[in-house]
Structure 1
Amino acid sequence: MKIKKVAIIGLGALGILFGARIAQQIGDDLTIIADQKRINNYQKNGVFCNGIPCRFHYKTPEQAEKADLIIFAVKINGLRDAIEVVRPCVGPDTLMLSLLNGITSEAIIGEAFGEENLIWSCAQGMDTLKSGNALTYTNAGMICFGNRADDQPTEKIMRVQEFFDRVGIAYQIDNRMDRKIWSKFMLNVGVNQVVSVYGQNFGSVKKSGKARDLMIAAMAEVIPVAKQEGVALDEADITYWLGVVDALSDTGKPSMRQDVEAKRPSEVAIFSGTVVALGQKHGIKTPVNAMLYDKIMAIEKDYHQFSK
């Protein structure tokens, strides 16, 4: 069954990035699902991608129709609410794809809807900057997707491949997405946190020095933890992600750095918080991530106190 109607929930950086590309090709067959307050904001102030207004079609959950594909682009702390919001859009053949950071979103979505129509996925390689409703980027990156741990091609994967080809979204099919998501998680643990504490942008970790060394050390602590969780990562994964980071714009910033600058709650709990907790579970020391967790929590505490 061909993917025709698509719904996106969440107009953060990735929601705008991929939503703009999809809307250009399928028009009002793409629906942005949001509450009325958010819709009023989007319609009044506009949503922009690299300076171009996004022609999005908005609907509240009550107005929503069944979709062939639902893309989750919210923050992890909003995922469970988003699941309830999109329930009216879910039919027996609706595919679901998550662009969230961390290693838990597929499990949460699968718990709510079952895994039969779940597409395991992650986004990588983009250097987006978001200010208000405006997104800018140099590298659009791509979506990696595939089966959780099955090399056999499946109909649902081919449906998504055909759709991405049709709308012009770059992608990579990986049918060991359980490992890929952990590998991407390792990147986020390093680059997001270190840039948030020790730098201003990707350029700060592309050059040799303390920040880059800490990024690599934080990533390396994920390897033994992942092994105990049944996922085999190694140094080659670090080398791969360093190549991805080095190809990003120097002035680009990871999402956590943008959260810190905007004095928003960060995703530290799903990055170093997860590494430290799993380290404790398995008796593995994770001092770099423990340090980064403490520093980011201190930063958040400071700006929360300042806002009072």
Structure 2
Amino acid sequence: MRIATMATGGIGGFLAVKLANDGHEVATIARGAHLEAIRAHGLRLDHADGSELAHPAVATDRPEEVGIVDAIIFGVKGDALEEAARACLPMIGPDTVVVPFLNGVEASDRLCALLPERNVVNGVARVSTTISAPGVITQTGAFHSFIFAERDSRPSARIDALRKAINDAGSSAPETDDIDRELWSKFVLFSALSVVTAAGRCTIGDIRNTPELEALFKRAMSETAQTGRALGVALADDLEAQIWSNLLVFPPQGRASTAIDLEHGRPLEIEWVSGAATRLAAKAGIDAPVNAALYAILLPHKHGR
């Protein structure tokens, strides 16, 4: 397959290495020192079992140089979606599939306002990665699962082809019959973890060991789960209990990316996380005071230092 990663950050970089090393023609869209490092030395993926080095077929900051591709792995920060989506247009043909792997639950709808709707699907990534140095992606944690489907979750040949490519490349792309459920199940966890670890300047261990933080996390999580159900998403009845049970075995030093961005003075994705949780709750007629308060606390830091 011809596959482009827009952009080649943690998620796009992880898949670019896996897919390129399995023989696919991968075009990495990047910029600055990261792009120059990929051009000069290739793209490296570091993980607990060692390192993998790939040399993508194309490394560029000009998508128009790539041409039409079969699939675009779309993984950018929420605030960068509009600019990145427009940049994808030269790579999109009638059958190109654009798979968004962004935080939040609104990326697919936002893309449909900018790209042909027939090309846009929906997806959720469960992997912990970051650009640790120019040209280097570091994976923390052993999990790496990429779930995606047509927006209505119906089967399709193009989804099957990309899923097979990712599975054959040594990662995981399981099937789903309800992509909205998958997306919202992650959102319920991430939106709560994001705002609590950021606003509280704390870790998962702190949440587990501080009754007040535990109660805050559970309230934020419950508000978002109630919102999803009110909007017609078929979330499991015991989803909140499942999430808390899973959180008990997460590494205690873990934090959400929002907390790390706040610490380093970087812009925060809060519009598409706690902001979305608050906004969608209002749309659904759900009272969400905890998410609204945490969103307000983080707003002064939205644009970074």
Q: Output the TM-score relative to the length of structure 1.
A: 0.84
Q: CA deviation at 1:295?
A: 2.1
- 1:174 aligns to what SS in structure 2? coil
Aligned-pair Cα RMSD in Å: 2.8
Distance 1:44 1:161, change over 3 A: closer
* Deviation readout 1:57-113 (Å, 9 max, x if unpaired): 302223112111110011111111111212111111211111111111111223333
Measured in 2, the distance between the counterparts of 1:34 and 1:190 equals 30
Which residue in 1 is equivalent to 2:26?
30
Question: In the alignment, what sits opposite 1:143?
Answer: 146
Kept after mapping to 1: 8 A contact 2:71/2:97: yes
Spell out the pairing of 1:72-221 with structure 2 (5 A cutoff): 72-124=74-126, 126-133=127-134, 134=136, 135-150=138-153, 152-207=154-209, 209-221=211-223
Q: In 1, are the aligned partners of 2:163 and 2:174 still within 8 Å (CA)?
A: no
In 2 relative to 1, CA 172–201 (structure 1 residues): closer, same or farther, beyond 3 Å? farther
Matched AA of 1:131: S
**Distance in structure 2 (CA, Å) of the matches to 1:225 and 1:191:** 17
Q: Which structure shows the higher helix fraction?
A: 1
1:137-163 superposed Cα distances (whole Å, 9 cap, x missing partner): 12232011224344x532222212221
SS at 1:121's partner residue?
A: strand
Taking the aligned partners of 1:64 and 1:42, their CA distance within structure 2 comes to: 16
Change (3 A) 1:201 1:21: farther
Evaluate the alpha carbon distance shift between residue 209 and residue 20 of structure 1 in structure 2; reply closer, same or farther with a 3 A threshold. Answer: farther
* Count, aligned residues: 297
Unaligned runs of 5+ in 1: none
- Compared with structure 1, are the counterparts of its residues 281 and 5 closer, same or farther at alpha carbon in structure 2 (3 Å cutoff)? closer
Aligned to 2:231: 229
How far residue 300 of structure 1 moved from its aligned partner, in angstroms, is 5.1
* Cα deviation 1:230-249 (Å, max 9, x = unaligned): 32435422233334444543
Distance in 1 between residues matched to 2:13 and 2:245, nearest whole Å: 25
Normalised by the length of structure 2, the TM-score is 0.85
Tell me how far 1:299 sits from its aligned partner: 4.7
Instruction: Structure 2 unaligned segments of length 5 or more: list them.
Output: none
Distance 1:139 1:205 in 2: 22
- Does structure 2 retain, via aligned residues, the 8 Å contact 1:164–1:170? yes
